[in-house]
Amino acid sequence: MEKFNIDLWQPRTSVGRAIKEGQITKISQILRQGKPIKEPEIVDALVPNLEEDILGVSLVQRMHKSGRRVKFRVVGVVGNRDGIVGVGIGSTREISSSVRKAMTAARLNITEVARGCGSWECGCGRHHSVPFEVIGRSGSVSVTIKPAPRGLGVAAAEVPKSILHMAGIKDAWTRSEGQTRTTINFALATLDALKQTSRISLREQSKKHIVIGMPGEESG
């Protein structure tokens, strides 16, 4: 997408106006309060180093009274490799517009990921893996992400590996079940698992000490 210019942005929502006025300076302020993100410019303004990647492109055909209609469906991922990641889907008659639509949808569907060193084999205290085992589901697909020792890398298929890298996860074990050939469900199940890290970590931090790194926090 084109480079974002906050000076030219005219926000349409209260959250967008708060960002433009300087009242909100971090994306975590929005995500942790559960506020919906309705403008992709919100993400571009608060996460300027966002990267994009295409997870899959497929043809979708349907019959209409005027004949057969063909569309390109793109599954995309965005992330800053530091605890922020999102997955989106776009479908239009042209690949370029499908890509733009998918990346916009991914921005509106971002989440923050809690990272840590949850592997009993490591214990380095750095934010290189997930802090505990998490499971995500979408359709028939189930994805399990487990903490791994530092230096192992991401042991996963191509789709979850790309998403984990975008989220800043450097080491992890994964297991998947179901129709993983369906890229959409595979990607959304992985994102759902990553969402569990931030949801669970807030409860766990109040019960016991776990070394967890949220987006923007320094890691060792």
Q: Which two tokens stand for residue 36?
A: 């919906």
Which pLDDT score, from 0 to 100, does residue 41 have? 93
Q: Which of 59-63, 122-126, 138-142, 198-202 has the highest mean pLDDT?
A: 138-142
CA atoms of 201 and 75, how far apart (whole Å) = 28
The predicted-structure confidence for 141-170, as pLDDT tens digits, reads as follows 999 999 999 999 999 999 999 999 999 999
The yes-or-no verdict on residue 66 having pLDDT over 80 is: no
Alpha carbon 150 to chain centroid, angstroms: 22
Which pLDDT score, from 0 to 100, does residue 219 have? 46
Q: 174 CB contacts (<8 Å, ≥6 apart)?
A: 143, 144, 145, 146, 154, 155, 156, 157, 160, 164
Angle between helices 183-205 and 158-167 (to 10 degrees): 40
Assigned CATH for 115-213: 3.30.230.10
Which pLDDT score, from 0 to 100, does residue 183 have? 95
**Rg of the chain over CA atoms, in angstroms?**
18
Instruction: Give the residue extent of every domain in the chain.
Output: 6-46, 115-213
**pLDDT above 90 as % of the chain:** 69
Please return the burial class of 117, using the count of CB atoms within 10 Å of its CB with bins 0-12, 13-18 and 19+: buried
**How many Cβ atoms sit within 10 Å of the Cβ of residue 192?**
20
pTM: 0.86
Which pLDDT score, from 0 to 100, does residue 120 have? 83
Go through 69-89 and write b for each residue having 16 or more CB atoms within 10 A of its CB, e for each that does not. Answer: eebbbbbbbbbbebbbbbbbb
The yes-or-no verdict on residue 210 having pLDDT over 70 is: no
The predicted-structure confidence for 170-209, as pLDDT tens digits, reads as follows 999 999 999 999 999 999 999 999 999 987 655 555 454 4
DSSP class of residue 194 equals H
Find the farthest-apart pair of alpha carbons in the chain and give their distance in angstroms, rounded: 63
The yes-or-no verdict on residue 138 having pLDDT over 50 is: yes
**pLDDT band at residue 100 using 50, 70 and 90 as cut-offs:** very high
Name residue, tokens 């210019």: 5
Mean pLDDT of 57-66: 83
